Structure 1
Amino acid sequence: MRINLSQNQIAEIKRIVQKELLLKGIEPTDEYLFINCFSKIHKETVYYHLLEENDTLIIRCYARVFDNLGLSEIIRDTAKNIFEYVVKHTGLQNTIYIENGIEF
């Protein structure tokens, strides 16, 4: 289920993402908050899906990392910063991070 965030909260998430990645767009779907980004340095597209399930904040990330430690670190740091912000403003305490289908 998509997390309901205010326009100010979405603007803050945009700011967090834009610290490391080029933001192409944030689109709320019925199921999740879709964040489309691009890493200019690594020339790779990065997708985040932000959702709530059973009082748990889940962020799924899809990116072609292929043993690229620099890109992996950027997408994980960005996801961590998004998590911290959303947890602080929603009160959700349980979090799950899934990168390319693998839970971390």
Structure 2
Amino acid sequence: MLADATRVRLILALRDGELSVNHLADIVDKSPAAVSQHLAKMRLARMVSSRQEGTKVFYRLANEHARQLVRDAIFQAEHALGGTPLHHHKDAEANQ
């Protein structure tokens, strides 16, 4: 499910709370129809949940696991780049 960059971007957009399909489409610079298709697949995988308010559909992360998967993938990618990963700098600063 996370092999598609648009889905990763949708998860990142939803980490702070619920958003409408149109708002998400603006954030990821895709059409609302394309975003709806991605979200439908993510809903089937139980990564997101939805609610309808009138004609608008709002999505939110179903649980913390999707956010953690993306976070871990980003951290792993930082390690693959070599050097000291950015997330280690933040941890080091927080511990001082």
Whichever structure has more strand as a proportion of its residues is 1
* Larger of the two Rg values belongs to structure: 2
**TM beyond 0.5:** no
TM-score, scaled to structure 2 = 0.33
Give the TM-score taking structure 1 as reference length.
Answer: 0.31
Higher relative contact order (CA 8 A, sep 6+): 2
